[in-house]
Amino acid sequence: MSFQEQRPITEAARSHVRETVRQWLGVRKDDALHVPEMPDNLARLFLRCEEWEIDSRDQWGNFEHGLADNTRRRTLWIPEVDEWVNSIRATLPPKVQTEPLWPNGHKFALCLSHDVDAISTQYSALQLHRLKRRELLAKSVLTGADRSFLAAFESESSRLESLRPSERPSSAVESMDRSIQIEKDFGIKGSYFFPIWPPKVDSPYDCLYTADDQYTYLGRVMTARDIMLELAAEGFDVGLHGGYHTALSLENFLHEKHLIEDETGLSITTTRQHWLHWDARVTPRIQFQAGITADSTLGYNRNIGFRAGTSKPYFFYDVGTDEQLDLVELPMVLMDGSVFSTMALELDLPRAKQIAFDLIDRIIETGGCASLLFHPENLANPATYSLYRECTAYCIEKGAWGASLKQIENWWRDRTAKLNAQSPSTEH
Ligand SMILES: [Zn+2]
């Protein structure tokens, strides 16, 4: 029995589900093969209907796992949609030609991604200054000293900037350096999502560095801007980590996207929302309207697993306007914070590894993508570092295609175009 009023699944949404299933199976669009309809409960899970039907959100404005139907059914850690697609795949006649899910014979994929909330574990004097301002803005009652601090904020920022050349840059040795080294060791170029300061609207949650802030990165003194440019030049995917207030406002989103593009000269097309502040009803459309072509926010802060029942990429469907967006969504299945934080599962390392490997095994069985999020600054913690390294090693040992969100998006778009093209046999 359902206690929540359910919207009917429209014919357009059903058709999107049908098309997505054919894409996952790798069946050409013009192949006359009949593919069974996805059962309603799975179609609703995949389309995220409940996120339109339930208005409740947590204290950060997020739809959390406790509200989800697959949590109630105790299947959040099971890729139910992918398992159903596998059961259909097993019934396909042997003569049906299907496109492989992943390139070069890989049976599954591994997407390494990083929200660079901080480049270093240390704050510079300027960042501490910005932090104090942020804390004061969150206070309900300000003292005279608080007001004086805020009034003098800009002039004090300029003074601190003039002192910067004599300041020791913050060290990235335990954070970004470690993150890059793991990827270099495994020959993978992951995604690095960078925030940019200042946001258009202040939030107590936002990150605090600008493109000019300085670090020692891989033994050299570099600005945040130079680090982004070097990563992009080396073939890493550099995307936007949009601040808290970008999730619900196109204006705020565009402000940050343009700011990071102006600061770096890069064209930014991939993203993950900071704090996973993402509302299915609003955020994907904002991202699409801002020129973003791939997102990997769809996961939970306080749990791991399969928010949409799948780990595979797909084109996002906006249930509110009843149309597909030209936006590739790659669900994020595991984040460091969800595993270790006291706000979430709070696991110890042995149990974290066991649960992560179980999750990866289910992704391997269903040919999906293990999209993992590890924050560079958290790699200073030995347990987080160990979990990241061992999950990566496990996936590679099992034959994963290690890639960034951008590489997966490109592969998915090319593969979809191929499936949608008229097949040679039907051309005249
Ligand atoms: Zn973040």
CATH code assigned at 236: 3.20.20.370
Give the Å distance between the CA of 273 and the centre of ligand 1. Answer: 7
Q: With 50 as the cut, is the pLDDT of residue 427 above it? A: no
Measure 44 CA to ligand 1 centroid, in angstroms: 28
Threshold 0.95, pTM exceeds: yes
Same domain for 201 and 231, yes or no, is: yes
Q: How many angstroms does the Cα of residue 415 sit away from the middle of ligand 1?
A: 31
- Same domain membership, residue 320 and residue 284: yes
Task: Give pLDDT, residue 2.
Answer: 60
Across the range 331-339, mean pLDDT stands at: 98
Let me know whether 189 and 130 are in one domain. no
pLDDT tens string 1-16: 466 788 899 999 999 9
How many structural domains comprise the chain?
2
User: Looking at 114, 143, 168, which one is the last position of a domain?
Assistant: 168
Same domain, 4 and 148: no
State the pLDDT at residue 395.
98
Same-domain pairing of 153 and 268:
no
Ligand 1 center–CA 372 separation, angstroms:
14
User: Are 111 and 72 found together in one domain?
Assistant: yes
**Residue 211 CA, ligand 1 centroid: distance in Å:** 16
Query: What spacing in Å lies between the alpha carbon of 114 and ligand 1's midpoint?
Result: 9
CA of residue 192 to ligand 1 center, whole Å: 11
Separation of CA 117 and ligand 1 centre (Å) = 5
Position 423 confidence tier, pLDDT thresholds 50, 70, 90: confident
What does the H/E/C string look like for the chain? CCCCCCCCCCHHHHHHHHHHHHHHHCCCCCCCCCCCCCCHHHHHHHHCCHHHHCCCCCCCCCCCHHHCHHHHCCCCCCCHHHHHHHHHHCCCCCCCCCCCCCHHHCCCEEEEEEECCCCCCCCCHHHHHHHHHHHHHCCCCCCHHHHHHHHCHHHHHHHHHHHHHHCCCEECCCCHHHHHHHHHHHCCCCEEEECCCCCCCCCCCCCCCCCCCEEEECCEEEEHHHHHHHHHHCCCEEEECCCHHHCCCHHHHHHHHHHHHHHHCCCCCEECCHHHCCCCCCHHHHHHHCCCCEECCCCCCCCCCCCCCCCCCEEEEECCCCEEEEEEECCCCEEHHHHHCCCCCCCCHHHHHHHHHHHHHHHHHCCCEEEEECCHHHHHCHHHHHHHHHHHHHHHHCCCEEECHHHHHHHHHHHHHHHHCCCHHHCC
| Cα of 12 from ligand 1 centre, angstroms | 34
Let me know whether 188 and 273 are in one domain.
Answer: yes
Average pLDDT over residues 130-148: 94
pLDDT at 426 over 60: no
Q: What is the pLDDT of residues 209-252, one digit of tens each?
A: 999 999 999 999 999 999 999 999 999 999 999 999 999 999 99
Domain that holds residue 420: 1-123+170-428
Where among 168, 184, 203 does a domain terminate?
168
Q: Note whether 113 and 244 are same-domain residues.
A: yes
Mean pLDDT of the chain: 96
**What residues have their beta carbon closer than 5 A to ion ligand 1?**
115, 117, 274
| Distance in Å, CA 118 to ligand 1 centroid | 9
Residues 86, 160: one domain?
no
d(CA 416, ligand 1 centre) in Å: 31
Distance 275 CA to ligand 1 centre (A): 5
Claim to verify: residue 160 and residue 194 sit in the same structural domain? no
Pair 198, 322 in one domain = yes
Distance 71 CA to ligand 1 centre (A): 24
Q: Say if residue 156 is in the same domain as residue 194.
A: no
Cα of 229 vs centre of ligand 1, distance in Å, is 20
CA of 274 to the centre of ligand 1 (A): 4
Query: What pLDDT is recorded for position 5?
Result: 84
